[in-house]
């Protein structure tokens, strides 16, 4: 376990990223005006956001490799790879916000463990596992969470950054379902049963975000209600069309 840190090389590599995502410098940097207590809370939220964006980049990178291994359509593979760039751009934006707030809060994580670990054996089943956990579940829940955070944001900079993140999250969430459109007939009944179990566990891991107990996520009651609705409308129902049955734990 070691401190989570970000590095920035600059030069040609930074220029390449900014050619792909040039909108970052146009955001209203230098405009944050927050009370000290609010600033400290925001530092924690945005520091954690840096980590989750890096973790998402790792997950979509793993999905890209899995899609190649199972012979998925090349445009689908290209989209997964392109999303990795999106997530790293989100990391940059989150890090810049964090620095304007006064610097990151310390986080400890073994970066050797950041890549997704799969349980299933066949390449197509492994790809389905990552797609469901990362895209169908994780990104589908990010959409309402970011949307509600955008409504609650009272700073021009945080609103602008959340606008960028929100615009990207919709396609990120749909990628998993587009993959399942292609893969559905190739998955066995046994694999669908295992994917149902894995998807249910993934949803349950996010449950503190919408349950009444404090989760530290900064969402109000309305935001938690919107997340709970998204579980049914954006995850449970869509996945059931592919024979993947998600069980949501009570509580």
pLDDT digits (tens, 9 = 90+) for 106-160: 989 888 888 889 998 899 999 999 999 999 999 999 999 999 999 999 999 999 9
- The answer to whether residue 224 sits within a structural domain is yes
Cα 81 to Cα 172: distance, rounded to the nearest angstrom: 11
- The answer to whether residue 163 sits within a structural domain is yes
- Is the pLDDT at 208 greater than 90? The verdict is no
CB of 234 within 8 A of CB of 169?
no
- The answer to whether residue 215 sits within a structural domain is yes
For the chain, what is the mean pLDDT? 93
pLDDT at 95: 97
- The answer to whether residue 119 sits within a structural domain is yes
CB of 202 within 8 A of CB of 137?
yes
- The answer to whether residue 190 sits within a structural domain is yes
- The answer to whether residue 78 sits within a structural domain is yes
Closest of 207, 47, 226 to residue 150, by C-alpha: 226
For the chain, the domain total comes to: 1
- The answer to whether residue 5 sits within a structural domain is no
pLDDT at 224: 87
For the whole model, what pTM was predicted? 0.93
- The answer to whether residue 145 sits within a structural domain is yes
Please report the beta strands in the chain, taking only residues with DSSP state E, as ranges in sequence order: none
pLDDT at 216: 52
CATH number at 207 reads: 1.20.1260.10
- Is the pLDDT at 217 greater than 70? The verdict is no
What is the span of the domain harbouring residue 128?
Answer: 33-240
Cα 127 to Cα 154: distance, rounded to the nearest angstrom: 39
pLDDT at 3: 77
């Amino acid at each position: 376990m070691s401190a989570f840190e970000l590095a920035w090389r600059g030069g040609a590599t930074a220029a390449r990223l900014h050619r792909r995502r040039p909108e970052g410098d146009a955001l209203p940097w230098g405009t944050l005006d927050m009370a000290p207590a609010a600033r400290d809370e925001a530092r924690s939220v945005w520091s954690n956001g840096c980590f989750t964006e890096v973790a998402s980049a790792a997950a979509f990178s793993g999905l890209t490799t899995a899609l190649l291994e199972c012979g998925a359509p090349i445009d689908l593979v290209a989209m997964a790879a392109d999303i990795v760039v999106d997530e790293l751009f989100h990391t940059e934006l989150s890090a810049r916000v964090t620095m304007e707030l006064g610097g990151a809060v310390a986080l400890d994580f073994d970066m050797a463990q950041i890549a997704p670990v799969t349980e299933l054996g066949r390449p197509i089943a492994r790809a389905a596992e990552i797609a469901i956990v990362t895209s169908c579940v994780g990104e589908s829940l990010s959409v309402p969470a970011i949307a509600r955070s955008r409504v609650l944001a009272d700073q021009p900079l945080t609103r602008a950054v959340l606008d960028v993140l929100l615009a990207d999250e919709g396609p990120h969430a749909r990628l998993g379902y587009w993959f399942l459109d292609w893969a559905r007939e190739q998955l066995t009944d046994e694999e669908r049963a295992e994917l149902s179990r894995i998807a249910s566990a993934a949803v349950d891991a996010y449950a503190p975000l919408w349950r009444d107990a404090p989760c530290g996520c900064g969402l109000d009651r309305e935001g938690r209600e919107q997340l709970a609705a998204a579980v049914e409308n954006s995850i449970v129902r869509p996945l059931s069309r592919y024979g993947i049955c998600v069980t949501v734990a009570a509580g």
